[in-house]
Structure 1
Amino acid sequence: MGRCRSCHREAPTISDKIGFCVACLRRHWDEISAEIADLHRRTRRAFGLPEEPPRSQGGIPCRLCHHFCRLGEGEFGYCGVWQNLKGRLRGPHPGGAFVSWYLDPLPTNCVADFVCPGGTGAGYPRYAHLPGPERGYANLAVFYEACNFNCLYCQNWHFKLRKLTAPLVPTAKMLSDLKDHVACICYFGGDPGPQSPHALSFSKKALARREGKILRICWETNGAENTPIIREMMRLSLASGGCVKVDLKAFSEPVHLTLCGVPNQMTLKNFEMLAQMARERPEPPALIASTLLVPGYVDEEELEKIAAFLANLSPEIPWSLLAFYPTFYLDDLPTTSRRHAEMALSIARSHGLKRLNLGNRHLLSEAY
């Protein structure tokens, strides 16, 4: 049971780690924002990560994502990947990155599984091996160990334990692990954005190696890449039968800043652009939205705004609503309630959205 330090309301859906209910975050953001910013600085300091995007005068600009960091000598970018070393930006390159990978049998626990070729056979025979789920095939799952968000509920937060000065992982073996039964590559993390040059380079090598054969390129991302980069990501997905899966974590700025530590303007702008590009290939769908149903914070108001945003772009955009599990700093909230999930689906349908999925159903509770 958490307690809001502003209105003093108590509820199981108020996190004491955040300290405020969602209504007060929206209503009193000007007064509360400094405390939320300090919370995020502290959580990053604990892992030795830059507390804010560097803005050094005369520093080297990094143009990979929405932060547009300017790195002074020796400084790391917000993601903890790129560093100014002797006047040059150093970080991942085609031969190495902060990354791990494994083969994941299809169909897999993917947010697009309900509409993608691997889970449904959509796009058969051009983009899928089978007219149904691709059993017997695999996904090359590529986990990038960095992120340009600071989500308090990160499910894969262990990547933050990597030292900033750790050596890059050689990735020549990634290409040799591209076995004949691999039907798709999915980049996730963390987020692929901070290491997108490596991911784009590897994708092109992989597609050249498998020319004339099925190999879908897919991305799970927060969507905050610099627009030309995420446009290239979508181009590869469109051509290969893959998709770009964008996590719309919240809509209003106070809630997004509270949960993720960063604004979401670039994510929304990029999503609009991707929706236009996705019209080039309606099937299988090239753009998927996902939203984690964080108890008490991704509430009715947030869901209404996200649903309206999606419906305005196209009612055909698939939206995967995911049940929340308490972890990392937001370990004092319950799992998503059945009532919350049903409300989310009802809101989506009321806006005319046609392709909906409820993921992590086994986590649903009666906690609120």
Structure 2
Amino acid sequence: MDESGRCMLCEWRCGANRSDGERGVCGASETEIAYTSISETLRSYSVTFLCCPFRCAYCNAYRISQYPHSGWIYRGHVEAEELADEAITAIKSHERISNISFTGGEPSIHTPYIEELVRRVREEIDVSVILATNGFSTPGTLRRLIGLTSLFSFEIKALSDELHRNLTGAPAEPVLRNAAHLAGRFPDKIRVFRTVVIPGINDHEIREIAAFIASIDPEIPYRLIGFRPNFMLYYHRGPGRELMERLVEECRAEGLERVDYSGYYPASELRLEDRLKAAGCSIPRDCGSCSRVCRAIIREPWRG
């Protein structure tokens, strides 16, 4: 925020007076929480924020990122002191929890709130801070986040400006600038760079993104995430395993030493009969004679 309380936290620098209820380009006024959760696997108490400066066409959390326009109702504003008390209680009651993590939406547009929350938590207990970001913060905001964050999960959605704008509605340059700054100056703070692989849209840029990262530090971890049909790309196909494995090899060929992937879309590789059997259907199907609750309507197709 500038001296008048107008928001300059992200590269839109829209100047919204959020403290007075005005909403910025990101949709945020006062900081609002979608929900909190605990992951013993990640050893983390996680805070999920509402709103985002991007309008990603494929966002799998668009009800959160596009709040309040999505029309969904979430927890809302919680005073930092109150949430800090909740976090401290939760972390102390779970032996394996040692981190507090921030995701969204986009956490960086709530930097003053995060600073206050972390300060209060660290007055009571020693915790690491993990932050997932789209990298669209201003240099000043990024410096503030570097000062309190232990590890960043940083997403590079595309390399070329035109594609980045088409996917997110925002320019690529600030993201690439911040990625280069983090990788070049604070490689120990990068948990992972990530890119969602969307066949026919950004898969041709994956190798170039890998080359960009490798040119800064070839030891930076890079993870490819298999796209799942969602939001404006609900009917677009996801990547198959063969594509994901090929892209990993191409990234390694660019000099990146730590590349892996998660997720692919088996529906693009299996016959209809295979998909129906995976859903628990008999072949041929005869829904009129089936007395069971239909498992197909609640099954997530990528688990088959």
State the TM-score bracket (shorter-chain normalisation). 0.7 to 0.9
The unaligned stretches of length 5 or more in structure 1 are 1-58, 83-90, 108-137
Conservation of the 8 A alpha-carbon contact between 1:102 and 1:141 = yes
* Corresponding position of 1:249: 157
Equivalent in 209, 226, 239 of residue 124 of structure 2 = 209
Equivalent in 112, 125, 142 of residue 230 of structure 1 = 142
Q: Name the CA distance, whole Å, in 2 between partners of 1:314 and 1:286.
A: 11
CA RMSD of aligned residues (A): 2.6
**Cα pair distance change 1:337/1:365, threshold 3 Å:** farther
Conservation of the 8 A alpha-carbon contact between 2:9 and 2:108 = yes
* Corresponding position of 1:101: 36
Conservation of the 8 A alpha-carbon contact between 1:62 and 1:68 = yes
**Cα pair distance change 1:70/1:170, threshold 3 Å:** closer
* Corresponding position of 2:194: 290
- State whether structure 2 residue 77 is matched by structure 1 residue 168: yes
Q: Give the drift of 1:76.
A: 2.4
- State whether structure 2 residue 234 is matched by structure 1 residue 331: yes
Q: Name the CA distance, whole Å, in 1 between partners of 2:200 and 2:10.
A: 29
Query: Given the two structures, how large is their TM-score scaled by the length of structure 1?
Result: 0.64
Paired letter, 1:168: H
Q: Give the drift of 1:60.
A: 7.6
Deviation per residue, 1:93-131 (Å, 9 max, x gap): xxxx33421111214xxxxxxxxxxxxxxxxxxxxxxxx
* Corresponding position of 2:207: 304
- State whether structure 2 residue 62 is matched by structure 1 residue 62: no
**Cα pair distance change 1:101/1:174, threshold 3 Å:** farther
Q: Give the drift of 1:351.
A: 0.8
Q: Name the CA distance, whole Å, in 1 between partners of 2:153 and 2:237.
A: 26
Paired letter, 2:26: C
Structure having the higher helix fraction is: 2
Equivalent in 24, 45, 51 of residue 77 of structure 1 = 24
Give the structure, 1 or 2, with the largest relative contact order (CA under 8 Å, sep 6 or more). 1
Q: Give the drift of 1:359.
A: 1.3
Q: Name the CA distance, whole Å, in 2 between partners of 1:201 and 1:265.
A: 29
- State whether structure 2 residue 173 is matched by structure 1 residue 265: yes
**Cα pair distance change 1:367/1:251, threshold 3 Å:** farther
* Corresponding position of 1:346: 249
Conservation of the 8 A alpha-carbon contact between 1:139 and 1:185 = yes
**Cα pair distance change 1:266/1:254, threshold 3 Å:** same
Conservation of the 8 A alpha-carbon contact between 2:130 and 2:152 = yes
**Cα pair distance change 1:364/1:206, threshold 3 Å:** farther
Conservation of the 8 A alpha-carbon contact between 1:336 and 1:365 = no
Q: Give the drift of 1:236.
A: 2.0
Q: Name the CA distance, whole Å, in 2 between partners of 1:352 and 1:71.
A: 43
The unaligned stretches of length 5 or more in structure 2 are 271-304
